[in-house]
Structure 1
Amino acid sequence: MKSIGIGCFNFGISKLVSTDIKVSEHVQNIKSSLEKIPSIGEIEIEFDDRFDDLITVPANNIGLKHNLVIPHIEFLRVEFSLHLPTRIQVSVLDESWAYERSGTEDFRVTLVSSFYGPVTFVESVGSAVKNDPSYSVRIVRAFLEAEFKKLEENVTFEYLGPSPFHANLFLTENTEKKGCAMIECEEIHARGYNDIIFKYDPEKFTSEQEIYEYFISEVDGELGLFYEIVRLKNRQNNAWRQISENVQSLKQVELGGLRWWSFLKKYKQLRNQRDIINELYQFKAENEGVRKQVQEWVDDAYSKQLAVYFEDYVRNNEAKFPSYPIDAISEWLRHNEARSIKYIELSIIFISSLFGGVIGSLLTILLQGRE
């Protein structure tokens, strides 16, 4: 039985790279960086050299931490073994029970680039049946993050939550029936993460490696879609957070009250309100477009019913796409805009009257002086 945890890791481009590089160069940089970590061995990296394109180096080292896959290398596969003694597992997570949950000191990490983005499989090699493979993802993630911070290389280690994916996967031989499908799965519900048992027909495969390759090819598309939805949700949340901060700054001005000496502040507020209203309309259009795109992806993925193992997870992820009070805030801003315009109009009338009175008085004094 193989125990497998799922995550979303990627190897990005560090700030040390200042010019655009080819895919093959970045792949070589990944290999060189991994080779400098003593605990890592058996490194195998594959990609389709027909797509050895030029990668545009991103500004400010953006990547998965900004919910973007940069670079997204088509057909990339990075695989390596990782030996982490118990003391290291305990230290990287600062949890004394680390080994008891991982059940092993040896891991096999496989990163594949699906259509939607990277998906990572962490196998707990030789672990006990009752181990926690999702916990192994945490250990591997924390270790790689710490090691890459020490390296001054052209590659960064990045990850996206949830890493681990909220389920434990087990791959085992189907001993109950012959002539079954190549792989079938059964989900066992638990208080924490559910266990998903994948059972394969041993008569349809020639080796354990072939079974594992087939398993990855069966599930990476669904898992890639799951993480792409996560990235889109995070980007939408970040954009909304910025709009919310701008709205809060307007509220602070409102708390100051309507005083005649606030004329310039109110004028600036009016301009800001109009900018935020434009941002809201842009955000609304983008949000509706993203929702529609996600719905189309999900419907397309499950309309063919080819490989359906994580449909509940993907659809729940889609269903939890956040909604935002766009219309309510737009209405408040328009109401506030009308108040600001009225305030400015009254201020102009007041100032005009004030200056008119002053000028009139001066003229009267001057005329009286001539008499």
Structure 2
Amino acid sequence: MEEMMTGDRFFGVGCLTPKVKDAKDANDWKKRVVYTFEAIPSVHNFALTEIDDLDFYWEGKIGQSGDEEIPLPELGLMTFDVNIPSRIQKQLGILPGIGDVEEFKVLTFFHYVHPITYIECKSPQGGEVSNPSSAMAIVRDFLVAELKKQQSDIELFMIGPSPFHADFSLRAGKGEMEVGDGFSVTVEKGLGYDNITYFHDPSHASISRAVLWQLYSAIQGEFSYFYRFQSLRNARLHAASNLSTQSEELAKLFKKRGFSSYLTRTATVRHKLQSAQLDAISARMAAMQHSRSTKEDMEGLYPKEGGSALKGYLERVTEEVYLEELEGAEKILEVLESRHSQEVQRFATITFSLLGVIVGAVLTAAFRSWWG
């Protein structure tokens, strides 16, 4: 029997899925995930639907060895209910709190672009829910703790920001911008999290869970691309941070005084410099590739000029390319490369001069000995 919902609905958005690193195929992934989640006492009505194939999601870092591909369902759904008592929520220490909500309904769409998770807050009184985005953090930290108790080899695959930095709700009425499928939306900007309120056709007397899931389906494409763009952005950030760290560590080596430090640099720093320079090239190439692919994706998502409540969020993620950080590290490496070349030349000059003196001394001694 379909559950009828007479009040407003509140939910958070993020990316939160089980990660089975060594899953052989979809059946192996499903078997192990079902076994693990059904062993958690607070989890109920766990179900996997239409999961037939696995795809691989990159969890690596630009320019680093050992990049990891995580097998996750290519398409399908994962749903379950979870009860997290208020006392447990307080122990988790998630702020801001979420009031008296203890029941959460979790739905993950496995999408070929990127997985996306919705968590509905089931208010016991059917009233307003404050900070519904916190549901994502509460459920996430609770599941991490439960998996740790089981000593499970299953982890959680998460992409930040999870939660998405907005509180979501679905209400009867009319919003400022049309979404389609009978939905509209109003966005209120906030200092921390925004409020994104979706509205459904007010001619409907009540809102069923099917309507809420219809909204989930209507907006999942944009959110899937948001988290894909976010994963690319995270890789760019890691690459820029890694390159900055390498350049700073190399600069420290060149600041060291003394003959032993000079010899160490001359003998060992070449490999480190080349490695950092290769990482810089990789980061540059990745940034250009990301720029091209995200531009194509955005044009496909938004073929016409005009509005979308979520378009601005996606654009901001794609614009975070960290070129200033890359350029700063590249300038440091350029200076260090020049200095290293000078030191190598000086070392070679000194070495050959010393060799000349030694050879000259040896020959002089030999001639003296020969001529008696």
TM range (shorter): 0.7 to 0.9
Q: Are the counterparts in 2 of residues 69 and 117 from structure 1 also a CA contact under 8 Å? A: no
Residues 1:190 and 1:233: Cα distance change in structure 2 (over 3 Å): closer
Q: Are the counterparts in 2 of residues 218 and 307 from structure 1 also a CA contact under 8 Å? A: no
Instruction: Point out 4+ residue stretches in structure 1 off by more than 4 angstroms.
Output: 55-60, 66-69, 202-207, 257-261, 304-307
Q: Are the counterparts in 1 of residues 56 and 70 from structure 2 also a CA contact under 8 Å? A: no
Deviation at 1:147, TM superposition (A): 0.7
Specify which of 24, 30, 36 is matched with residue 27 of structure 1.
Answer: 30
What CA distance in whole angstroms lies between the structure 1 residues aligned with 2:190 and 2:82?
29
Q: Are the counterparts in 2 of residues 112 and 119 from structure 1 also a CA contact under 8 Å? A: yes
Match of 1:8 in 2: 15
Unaligned runs of 5+ in 1: 61-65
Residues 1:67 and 1:9: Cα distance change in structure 2 (over 3 Å): farther
Match of 1:249 in 2: 249
Instruction: Supply the AA of the counterpart residue of 1:158.
Output: F
- Determine whether 1:170 maps to 2:190: no
What CA distance in whole angstroms lies between the structure 1 residues aligned with 2:314 and 2:165?
12
Deviation at 1:253, TM superposition (A): 2.1
Match of 2:323 in 1: 323
Instruction: Supply the AA of the counterpart residue of 1:353.
Output: S
Instruction: Supply the AA of the counterpart residue of 2:223.
Output: L
The RMSD of aligned alpha carbons is 3.3
What CA distance in whole angstroms lies between the structure 2 residues aligned with 1:4 and 1:34?
22
Residues 1:328 and 1:48: Cα distance change in structure 2 (over 3 Å): closer
Deviation at 1:124, TM superposition (A): 0.8
Instruction: Supply the AA of the counterpart residue of 1:162.
Output: P
Instruction: Supply the AA of the counterpart residue of 1:138.
Output: A
What CA distance in whole angstroms lies between the structure 1 residues aligned with 2:17 and 2:284?
30
Residues 1:332 and 1:72: Cα distance change in structure 2 (over 3 Å): same
Match of 2:101 in 1: 104
Match of 2:311 in 1: 311
1:13-34: CA deviation from partner (whole Å, max 9, x where unpaired): 15xx5xx511122112222211
Q: Are the counterparts in 1 of residues 58 and 67 from structure 2 also a CA contact under 8 Å? A: no
For residue 104 of structure 1, give the secondary structure of its aligned residue in structure 2. Answer: coil
Q: Are the counterparts in 1 of residues 44 and 81 from structure 2 also a CA contact under 8 Å? A: yes
Deviation at 1:222, TM superposition (A): 0.9
Q: Are the counterparts in 2 of residues 34 and 40 from structure 1 also a CA contact under 8 Å? A: yes
For residue 78 of structure 2, give the secondary structure of its aligned residue in structure 1. Answer: strand
Q: Are the counterparts in 2 of residues 67 and 234 from structure 1 also a CA contact under 8 Å? A: no
Deviation at 1:228, TM superposition (A): 1.3
Instruction: Supply the AA of the counterpart residue of 1:7.
Output: G
Higher helix residue share:
1
Match of 1:343 in 2: 343
Match of 1:141 in 2: 140
What CA distance in whole angstroms lies between the structure 2 residues aligned with 1:81 and 1:307?
34
What CA distance in whole angstroms lies between the structure 1 residues aligned with 2:306 and 2:67?
28
How many residues are paired up? 355
What CA distance in whole angstroms lies between the structure 1 residues aligned with 2:205 and 2:70?
35
Deviation at 1:56, TM superposition (A): 7.9
Q: Which moved more, 1:217-226 or 1:247-256?
A: 247-256
- Determine whether 1:117 maps to 2:114: yes
Residues 1:68 and 1:345: Cα distance change in structure 2 (over 3 Å): closer
What CA distance in whole angstroms lies between the structure 1 residues aligned with 2:59 and 2:219?
33
Match of 1:63 in 2: none
Deviation at 1:290, TM superposition (A): 1.2
Identity across the alignment (%): 20
For residue 210 of structure 1, give the secondary structure of its aligned residue in structure 2. Answer: helix
Q: Are the counterparts in 2 of residues 124 and 136 from structure 1 also a CA contact under 8 Å? A: yes
Unaligned runs of 5+ in 2: 1-7, 61-65
Residues 1:29 and 1:204: Cα distance change in structure 2 (over 3 Å): farther
What CA distance in whole angstroms lies between the structure 2 residues aligned with 1:311 and 1:59?
25
Deviation at 1:350, TM superposition (A): 2.1
